[in-house]
Structure 1
């Protein structure tokens, strides 16, 4: 009957989820069972695509990478909100248009603030003293 809730409709999805979880756990268990237990020198070396590593494998990243990454995430989320809004633009009316303009304005203020704080300026610092 239409409108009647049938939990059996979700049975294929539930089976798929259970099989997916079983495959994931099975792969983890197989790795734990069959891996080598003793570390050897080649395993402890950092992997560099078959090239012998040069220098220290660990170094500090500039904070600018993280600032750019956060700004990217913010503006990427904006794009995610704009796509569905653009699809139903004619159906939602003027009120939703005004709300989206407020949303874009707030993001524009954040973008201008980041620009004024020179978040997009990339300066390479010299490693030599003086």
Structure 2
């Protein structure tokens, strides 16, 4: 016979995690319905992420500036993710690590300057 009592804490943890996740998802929705803050109108239901209606002809032209800003955000977010481990390991990597990171940051700065000069960050 297999002793499954060792798995009981894991099972309890899974149930608590599932219960909390359900609570964090459905409790705000229920509270907003009860308090009256759930009041959809045309302004709230309008498209705000990409600037064009989601359910239109797939072949229509759209503005690509949103995607350029999103890609820039991802690039600089990854840059921040690289800076933390680099800062922690700088004592071990010494000058080689410092020069490598400064080269990386210089390339990103040149890319940002290019984007800025081309007007990719201007939102009209």
Aligning the two structures, in what range does the TM-score lie when normalised by the shorter sequence? 0.5 to 0.7
Unaligned 5+ segments in structure 1 are 1-10, 28-47, 124-130
| 1:104 paired residue number | 105
**How many residues matched?**
91
More helix per residue: 2
Higher radius of gyration, 1 or 2 = 1
State the TM-score, normalizing by the size of structure 2.
0.53
What's the secondary structure of 2:38's corresponding residue?
coil
Query: Comparing both chains, which one has the higher relative contact order based on Cα–Cα distances under 8 Å and sequence gaps of 6 or more?
Result: 1
Q: Distance in 2 between matches of 1:79 and 1:67?
A: 19
State the TM-score, normalizing by the size of structure 1.
0.51
What's the secondary structure of 1:96's corresponding residue?
helix
| 1:79 paired residue number | 80
Unaligned 5+ segments in structure 2 are 1-5, 23-36, 52-62
What RMSD over aligned residues (CA atoms) do the two structures have, in Å? 3.7
Say whether residues 1:54 and 2:42 are aligned partners. yes
